[in-house]
Structure 1
Amino acid sequence: MSIDWSGIFVPSLGLLEVFVRGTIIYLAMFAILRFGARRQAGQFGPADLLVIVLIADAAQNGLGKEYGSVTEAIVLVLTIVFWEYVIDWLKWRVPALRSVLTAPPLTLVENGRVVPAALRHESLTEDELMGQLREREVEDVRDVKLARLEGDGRISVLKNK
């Protein structure tokens, strides 16, 4: 078993082409993400994570010559961004579709009591729940009026007064 040293170090594409492809993809991704809608700065839900993964994979297709053209990669990324926008618009504009397009909130704590069935449903341990509550400055579950797992994956907490 020998090592193909030239395959490791000798580029299969011209270095200038790699630079140009990388530059075009980077600038296109920057423009798409910079000027796209910003719904929830700093909050990423499961749908946002899916879009990021798909965009990364689509952009990768244009980086190497064997994967396709830069134009195809940009159109693919724009298609993903387009559908994300359409789904967000439908959730906002058509209330009847919200329950289909967004997971409903799930009550985890109500009036100071943990809802065990909800934790089982989400495979969430009480320790994990308490960690989330501590991040919101709650030391004791009895201090919680309502805690819900929102459709975007965040846990919202209302404390007792």
Structure 2
Amino acid sequence: MDWSELFGLSLNPWELIVRGSALYWFLFLIFRVLMPRNIGSVTVADVLLLVLVADASQNAMTGDYRTVSDGFVLIGTLLGWNSLLDALTFYSPTMRRLLEPPPLLLIRRGEVLHRNLRREFIAFEELKAQLREHGIDDIGQVKAAYMESNGEFSVVRMDGGEVDTPPKSAKDRI
């Protein structure tokens, strides 16, 4: 076993520090300043963007690109496409229907729509747990329950009363 091959550095450590720092601050500015977003609104497109940005960043940090600027351009391109799609879905109802799934009805007037549960691989127990998080212990109390496009559940009570909204994070529970 060649220990120097296993633990040796392929790039100058200062180059790695500069590349890593430049990418960190570039991504920090983009995600904290230019693209602030509520964590509850993360969509499939956002997850895809994060995976692609992570891959592009890794290549820019480790030197697979010749310059850090190559990484900046690629990441900027990915963020540009994501922003364009976000704007299109915001301004165009047609694009919103094409690019975002509609809410899926899971309960109608106290009746569970098992076909829709199967379609999204939601176990009946998981549905009941979601209802309990909304303060409902009897399915008969539910006028309608939906799985929204961001994966969260929304519930409308049969009597029109308030439905408890589960906290988004541990910080909100305090």
User: TM-score by structure 1 length?
Assistant: 0.90
Taking structure 1 as reference, are residues 107 and 8 closer, same or farther at Cα in structure 2, changes over 3 Å only? same
* 1:42 match: 39
**1:67 positional shift:** 4.0
**1:36 positional shift:** 2.2
Counting only pairs closer than 5 Å after superposition, residues 91-106 of structure 1 correspond to structure 2 as 91-106=89-104
The alignment yields a C-alpha RMSD, in angstroms, of 1.5
Counting only pairs closer than 5 Å after superposition, residues 50-65 of structure 1 correspond to structure 2 as 50-65=48-63
Task: Give SS of 2:143's match.
Answer: strand
Taking structure 1 as reference, are residues 151 and 19 closer, same or farther at Cα in structure 2, changes over 3 Å only? same
1:66-118 Cα offsets, whole Å, 9 max, x none, are: 34421111111111111111111111111122110111111011112211111
The letter of the residue matching 1:92 is F
1:134-153 Cα offsets, whole Å, 9 max, x none, are: 22222222222211111222
Structure 2 contact 65–71 (Cα < 8 Å) conserved: no
- For structure 1, which runs of at least 5 residues remain unmatched after alignment? none
Which of residues 81, 84, 108 is equivalent to 2:82?
84
Taking structure 1 as reference, are residues 68 and 147 closer, same or farther at Cα in structure 2, changes over 3 Å only? farther
User: TM-score by structure 2 length?
Assistant: 0.84
Which of residues 126, 135, 138 is equivalent to 1:137?
135
Structure 1 contact 106–118 (Cα < 8 Å) conserved: yes
1:73 aligns with 2:91: no
The letter of the residue matching 1:128 is E
The letter of the residue matching 1:139 is D
- For structure 2, which runs of at least 5 residues remain unmatched after alignment? 162-174
Task: Give SS of 2:154's match.
Answer: strand
1:10 aligns with 2:8: yes
Paired-residue identity, %: 37
Tell me the matched-pair count.
158
